[in-house]
Amino acid sequence: MQIITTKAELEQNVQACKMKGQTIGLVPTMGALHEGHASLVRRCASENDVTVVSVFVNPTQFNNKEDLAKYPRSLERDAALLESIGAHFVFAPTPEEMYTAEEMNEPFRFDFNGLDSMMEGAMRPGHFNGVVQVVSRLFYLVKPDRAYFGEKDYQQLAIIRFMVGCSSLAGTFGDLQIIGCPIVREASGLALSSRNERLSAEEKQTALAISKTLFASQKWAKEPNATVKEVEQRVVDTINAVDGLEVEYYQIVDQTTLLPTDTFRHAIGCVTVYCGPVRLIDNIKY
């Protein structure tokens, strides 16, 4: 496995692979890897000749500088894991390598057709502009055949799919396939997240109420005459009743459009909860 830190070296290596007729898979990450990331990399390695994993804490998608500073970083450990599960190249650039000073200071603009106006987009203004900025740049550099993303960040996945299919970018990324992969959970049910590293042992136990409530809501949705609004409120009330947890939002939306829905058919419930100072996200399909 090779660790690459410059765009030029990355493009040179992937071009050499393409000249051999090899298929290339990409797994974009911000590092602090866990089994959820590992599942993406294993799938990528099983479906492509070459697996590229980016490890880059992207500053342009953080609207909270304190959150950016506290985001866990562990490249040496990440690289050891990636080598053991089949990655061929790890792209670990500095922010200065990825962006010019102007790009770092001027907000990136993209028309999401409203996909960024709710949930994470409403709570973190500019976040998805930063996500699209870095992901599109990775797509340009690697030109992968397939790219893999976890469904835990469901709104992000929907936005990336929209970007790739956007008519204004038609053909830009070739025949790139965006592959969404299921949430990986601990045996307890807690969704794996790099942010879990910031939880104390006590907070980790408290956070279990999030997934427990989401799974219970699937049963609530099947109760006679259950409505979307009632289930949304019940989820919020149940989580907020747990000492140490505070819901930022819980919305049940259509899985494709992310628009609010009044039916549980093809719906997904997306939640963000503060467990102490740590912001956790999760979702459940109905």
Task: Provide the annotated active-site residues.
Answer: 37
Angstrom distance (rounded) from CA 240 to CA 209: 10
Burial letters for 35-59: b for 16+ Cβ neighbours within 10 Å, e otherwise?
Answer: ebbbbbbbbbbeebebbbbbbbbbe
CA distance 29 to 51: 13
d(CA 209, CA 182): 20
As separate numbers, helices (DSSP H) first and strands (DSSP E) second, the chain gives 11, 9
Listed in sequence order, the residues at least 6 apart from 156 whose beta carbon sits closer than 8 Å to its beta carbon are 120, 128, 131, 149
Q: What's the CA gap between 19 and 94, in Å, rounded?
A: 28
Selection from 29, 61, 64 nearest residue 278 by Cα: 64
* Alpha-carbon separation of residue 212 from 118, 186, 191, 208, 281 (angstroms): 24, 12, 11, 6, 13
